[in-house]
Chain A
């Protein structure tokens, strides 16, 4: 631990704790997931940065969406995201979740992921190097420090619109609304 950080630790221990223990849900979608095994194992060792993969969404607070999201995957993405406890952060990995990438005119791939769930940050590229994940993680630290990584708050506030968009693509959703008070 850095000596300079002691002040921060005393001031906001919760924030510092969250910052250095990012538990990434091991959710595999698209081709980007192929970059994740070397990242979490000995070659790049993500645990240096406090990032560790976990099996279930209820233990996770970091969501890496690692590739194109088809309509069927979107359903799983939403369900996973809603199960994660707050605070939670999402990072879109690769160019496909940003604007469709090479699937920009596909009949079954959604183009902009941030229309359906809120995203804290993007890693552009096809494929991004594994180092890009660490750049994203360190950038996420500064965002958490400044209190700007608040996508989950936005989801709570604008849940009505997000749910509206989700239903436009998926039809009637067969699970209840996450936030009752913001329903139409």
Chain B
């Protein structure tokens, strides 16, 4: 049944978002590669279809292509009171256990993007984390303050051009042992 729902969803998505690449990779997985302008619209569309759970926002640094890739993973727990037969009749597909992977690329020189908080409220900590570790600025985010890290880094530490070994040598190895001081 899930597969049928997915096919239906794929058809709908292809109709609404012609620029995006959409394919079903496995029985329970659909991958959407979208332009960055389309992302919020696709998220709204999916939420309207019943995929109301944003599981994760992740980020990857493609340094050779000079781009960041943002990955949104959306799924649905489904409504526990759902009457599945009615849904099948009304053609409102909700696939429980389906993962929708929405990928988009943004430029590395100007790491700006729009926040997904208006659609999914739980995007806030994920975006804060990505802001801290990759230095991507999410427009419209209410508080992009430090989340995990105590120190300030010149280059955000999860970027590929951040040299951890050099950083450790410069910071932690330079601190002297107390016995050496007199």
Contact = CB atoms under 8 A, between A and B. Distances in A.
Interface of A: 71-72, 75, 100, 104-108, 110-112, 114-115, 118, 154, 158, 161-162, 165, 168-171
Given A112-B172, A171-B151, 7 more contacts: A71-B149, A72-B148, A115-B178, A165-B175, A168-B175, A169-B151, A171-B150
A75 B150 contact: yes
A111 B168 CA distance: 9
A170 B70 CA distance: 31
B1 interface: no
B173 interface: yes
Chain B contact-residue range equals 10 to 19
Nearest to A106: B164
A71 B151 contact: yes
Contacts of A158: 178, 181
B150 A72 contact: yes
B161 to A, nearest CB: 13
Contact of A165 (B149, B150, B151, B176): B176
Interface in B120-177: 148-151, 153, 157, 162, 164-165, 167-168, 171-173, 175-177
A161 B176 CA distance: 9
6 contacts: A71-B149, A100-B172, A105-B165, A111-B173, A115-B175, A115-B176
Nearest to A73: B150
Contacts of B150: 71-72, 75, 108, 170-171
Contacts of B173: 111
B177 to A, nearest CB: 6
B169 to A, nearest CB: 9
Nearest to A158: B178
Contact of B168 (A105, A114, A118): A105
The 9 closest A-B pairs by CB, nearest first: A107-B157, A71-B150, A161-B178, A105-B165, A111-B172, A161-B181, A72-B150, A107-B164, A105-B164
Contacts of A165: 175-176, 178
- Of A105, A107, A115, A169, most B-chain CB atoms within 10 Å: A107
